[in-house]
Structure 1
């Protein structure tokens, strides 16, 4: 729901990054949201093109969870494709907005999502509908194959975060969150109780806090 987005939402329950930086009135006039549920790194260049057309002062990026959340580990986006996709997306932005600041959030800890959510019977039922099968399928299985599957996803997420850090470091106007989102020790209060995957309103507020702290910090 755009109204509770950590980046641009107007909800007073979240106090989005845009609201914290611009104030509520200006945020409503001067912020745009091109996020799409289910988007992967391959979609980021198109979203960057939309954002760049607005000549933004700041662009926020949170991408990668859907690249790891596939029907199987074999279907996950490769690290090389993830890297080239991010490089291409930044290149698209720079052609139209060469000096725009970019805030890049790390990919959340999907294994923590499994660990927290598996304690809730409703959450596990929702996951059976096909929510992030590579990590969340057969949530109660603790056999070697299930453990290896989850570890493979976790390793891929960590590799994605390394890519985000490395590529962002080459752009003087790009700021990676240093792994703050990945390291955040969220619980079930920060997870939507509709799909048990996306952040809840509380979770969106925590993401906004992290983003604001990182954007305003002096490097």
Structure 2
């Protein structure tokens, strides 16, 4: 990695987030910026200090909402920057390679869309990260109503602006752009469970996908198919935006191709990822980081 000064310490942001079991649609008043300082790890196998700081730009998935069994953000279980050994996050894996865990920053919010992230990535200037992980798009498709779904052209423009902002704010960082998870898989896992369907029906979140979750009526099937197609369109746009951004590595659809199982979904709200799901995502995300850094 590039030669750089020591990582700047940023005060720990306030992280009081209540999900109220409404899924990703919950919107806190302000986005938390979470920063942790490096901690030593054992047996370095790569050049120590190669990555001093890592940041993630995202939504509730990167905040690990509900993953600790509480209706809050659980950053310790985050696939990207978590410290829970059972999750084995990207930051943890980097620490194991180089002998010191990088400082970490999360620019993320429950319910965040790509349009929200556009105005937030300037905060990366203070964090000065060596690596920036970007995972956005789920909330653009998984919206409270059909009218609130982000169209493919708008998403493409928003996402391209996000990457441009990341590149401008962190000019020396390696950027990793992840595909949108397979949202239809969430419905497939829960559609036959009455408790899950009842919870989805009671929630105002993700109606674009999960309304009438137990129905096989033609309009319900068509609506879900349209969301799956939209996610495919989003991923095409993410790939194109990454290709147009210097120093960006696309995950080649790895996250979207990850097939989560029941244990990967929170039993608290049947919507967010459990700690096991965060570990599954970390395992899918890590090889892309290795490729981006030439590890």
Fold shared, TM-score > 0.5 on shorter chain: yes
Aligned to 2:274: 200
Deviation at 1:125, TM superposition (A): 1.9
| Unmatched 5+ stretches in structure 1 | none
The higher-RCO structure (CA 8 Å, 6+ apart) is 1
CA contact under 8 A between 1:104 and 1:164: conserved in structure 2?
yes
Which of 33, 44, 49 in structure 1 is aligned with 2:122?
49
Distance in structure 2 (CA, Å) of the matches to 1:122 and 1:186? 19
Q: Does the Cα contact within 8 Å between 2:132 and 2:175 map onto a contact in 1?
A: yes
Question: Which structure has more helix as a fraction of its residues?
Answer: 1
CA distance in 2, matches of 1:80, 1:67: 12
CA offset at residue 126 of structure 1? Answer: 1.7
Q: Distance in 2 between matches of 1:120 and 1:199?
A: 17
Structure 1 or 2, whichever has the larger Rg, is 2
Residues in 1 aligned to 2:134 and 2:271: alpha-carbon distance in whole angstroms: 18
- Give distance in 1, aligned partners of 2:118 and 2:290: 26
Deviation at 1:138, TM superposition (A): 0.9
**Hey, what's the Cα distance between the residues in 1 that align with 2:136 and 2:245?**
18
Please say which of residues 17-26 and 191-200 is displaced more in the overlay.
17-26
- Deviation track 1:61-116 (CA, whole Å, cap 9, x = no partner) reads 11111000113333210111111111211222222321211111111111111111
1:87 lines up with 2:143 in the alignment: no
Corresponding residue to 2:145 among 72, 77, 80? 72
Unaligned runs of 5+ in 2: 1-73
Q: What is the match of residue 37 of structure 1?
A: 110
Is contact 2:265–2:272 with CA below 8 Å preserved after alignment?
yes
In the alignment, structure 1 residue 209 sits paired with structure 2 residue 283: yes
Q: Would the aligned equivalents of 2:124 and 2:169 in 1 still touch at CA under 8 Å?
A: no
1:8-56 per-residue CA deviation (whole Å, 9 max, x = no partner) reads: 01111101101101249843x6111122111001111233222232111
Residues 114-151 of structure 1 show CA distances to partners (whole Å, capped at 9, x for unaligned) of 11111222221221122311111111110110011101
Instruction: Normalising by structure 2, report the TM-score.
Output: 0.70
Runs of 4+ in 1 over 6 A off after TM superposition: none
Query: Distance in 1 between the 2:81 and 2:114 partners?
Result: 20
Asked if 2 retains the 8 angstrom alpha-carbon contact of 1:14 and 1:202, the reply is: yes
In structure 2, C-alpha distance between the alignment counterparts of 1:67 and 1:19, rounded to whole Å? 29
Name the counterpart of 2:197.
124
Q: 1:101 corresponds to which residue?
A: 174
Matched, 1:135 2:226: no
1:169 to 236, 243, 258: 243
In angstroms, what is the RMSD of aligned CA positions? 1.9
* C-alpha distance in 1 between matches for 2:125 and 2:151: 26
Aligned pair 1:178/2:252, yes or no?
yes
TM-score by length of structure 1 reads: 0.93
